[in-house]
Structure 1
Amino acid sequence: MATRQSIDECIQKCEDAIREGQKQYQAGLGQEHYSDSDYTQAMQKIEESVNDLAQLSQSANAQQREQLHRMRLQVQHLQNEMILLEHDPSTVGGTLH
């Protein structure tokens, strides 16, 4: 069974990834060109969070699984939004480099 501490640590990591992802997403909305590496790193942290949540939920009890499921929905929503932002490091202002 997952420990309360492992659940709390995972939730904290996810919340950190969400904050960083939201920051990069907002930067992407406001600018035509922004830090590709920061955006990519934020996406990687979000992907790691999704994977951590899935792995931890396998050993969680019903209440913990529900908590992890709610967090996974939040993380995946942001992940989808960031993907749909059409972030493409090879383009700036719609033209190819």
Structure 2
Amino acid sequence: MATRDSMDNLMQQCEDAIRFAEEQYKQSSLQEQYNDDNYTQALQVLEDTYGDIAKMAHFANSQQREQLHRKRLQLQQLQNSMILKDH
């Protein structure tokens, strides 16, 4: 079972990654190609966080796995939106 602290830290990491990616998504709409480095970095942060969720799922109980699954879907949705955006 994953510890409460490790789950809390990962959930905070997820929220930070989502917030950063959403900010870069919005900025890219305003600045177009001038924000390419941060946009790419945001996609990488989402991918890294997704990987961390997958690792944590191996140690999680069923309730924690459900929470991780919901976060994983949220990350995937944002990542897909960013990839499909005509950046």
User: The TM-score by the shorter chain falls in which range?
Assistant: over 0.9
CA RMSD of aligned residues (A): 1.0
Q: How many pairs were matched up?
A: 87
Indicate the percent of aligned positions where both proteins have the same amino acid.
55
How far off its partner does 1:40 sit?
Answer: 1.1
**TM-score normalised over the length of structure 2:** 0.93
SS in 2 for 1:64: helix
What do the CA deviations read for 1:52-91 (whole angstroms, capped 9, x no partner)? 001101110000001111111111100000000133xxxx
**TM-score normalised over the length of structure 1:** 0.84
Distance in 2 between residues matched to 1:55 and 1:76, nearest whole Å:
16
Q: 1:27·1:34 contact (CA, 8 Å) conserved in 2? A: no
Distance in 2 between residues matched to 1:43 and 1:32, nearest whole Å:
16
Structure 2 regions of 5+ residues with no counterpart? none
Q: Return the structure number with greater strand share.
A: 1
Distance in 2 between residues matched to 1:63 and 1:29, nearest whole Å:
37
Q: Which residue of 2 aligns with 1:91?
A: none
Structure 1 regions of 5+ residues with no counterpart? 88-97
Q: 1:2·1:61 contact (CA, 8 Å) conserved in 2? A: yes
Q: Are residues 1:26 and 2:26 paired?
A: yes
Report the residue type matching 2:66 in the other structure: E
